[in-house]
């Protein structure tokens, strides 16, 4: 009897997950629900919490739960995900401790100019202190973003 072992190719998983994505870092001391209320109002999005996408990281004997909100554009095949980057004293992406939230745009529809326009609009949303486009290649813990 032969035992077949299947190995998950993490590099391929990461490459597939982040294909056609843009990642925005946001600094704000507001809670996620309050910030998303402003984003929804000013940018005409519809971010909602999706508990099935919540990301749990375990460190030592504790578990940390990072909320993920999502919004799907009705007119194209673009999905938006809004991650909390911190939970108590832990970070989803420890290399980005000054970033409180991450906004991931998945889909082929958004071009670099569209993302730049979104960044500019986001800078005018109340409670947003800082906005920056992040390079996914430079993020060390990108596996933490995969749900």
Residue 50 scores a pLDDT above 70: yes
At residue 29, φ and ψ (nearest 5 deg) are: -90, 0
Residue 73 scores a pLDDT above 80: yes
Say what the pTM is: 0.88
Output the CA torsion sign for 138, 142, 51, 59: negative
Residue 59 scores a pLDDT above 90: no
Residue 47 scores a pLDDT above 90: yes
Question: What does pLDDT average to over the chain?
Answer: 91
Task: Using the CB atoms, write b or e for 21-31: b if 16+ within 10 Å.
Answer: ebbbbbebebe
Task: Specify whether the CB–CB gap between 1 and 106 falls below 8 A.
Answer: no
Question: Where do we find the tokens 């569209």?
Answer: 114
pLDDT at 25: 97
Task: Specify whether the CB–CB gap between 103 and 80 falls below 8 A.
Answer: yes
Chain centroid to Cα 58, Å, comes to 19
Task: Specify whether the CB–CB gap between 133 and 119 falls below 8 A.
Answer: yes
At residue 96, φ and ψ (nearest 5 deg) are: -120, 60
């Amino acid at each position: 009897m032969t035992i077949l072992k299947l190995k998950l190719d993490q590099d391929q998983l990461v490459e597939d997950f982040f294909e056609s994505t843009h990642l925005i870092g946001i600094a704000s001391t507001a809670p996620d629900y309050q910030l998303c209320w402003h984003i929804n109002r000013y940018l005409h999005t519809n971010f909602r919490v999706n508990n099935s996408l919540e990301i749990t990281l375990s460190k030592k004997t504790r578990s940390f739960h990072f909320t993920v909100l999502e919004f799907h554009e009705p007119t194209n095949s673009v999905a938006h995900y809004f991650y909390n980057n911190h939970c108590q004293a832990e970070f989803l992406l420890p290399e980005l401790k000054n970033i409180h939230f991450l906004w991931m745009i998945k889909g082929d529809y958004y071009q670099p100019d569209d993302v730049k326009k979104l960044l500019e609009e986001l800078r005018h949303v109340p409670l947003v202190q800082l906005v920056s486009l992040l390079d996914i290649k430079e993020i060390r813990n990108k596996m933490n973003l995969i749900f």
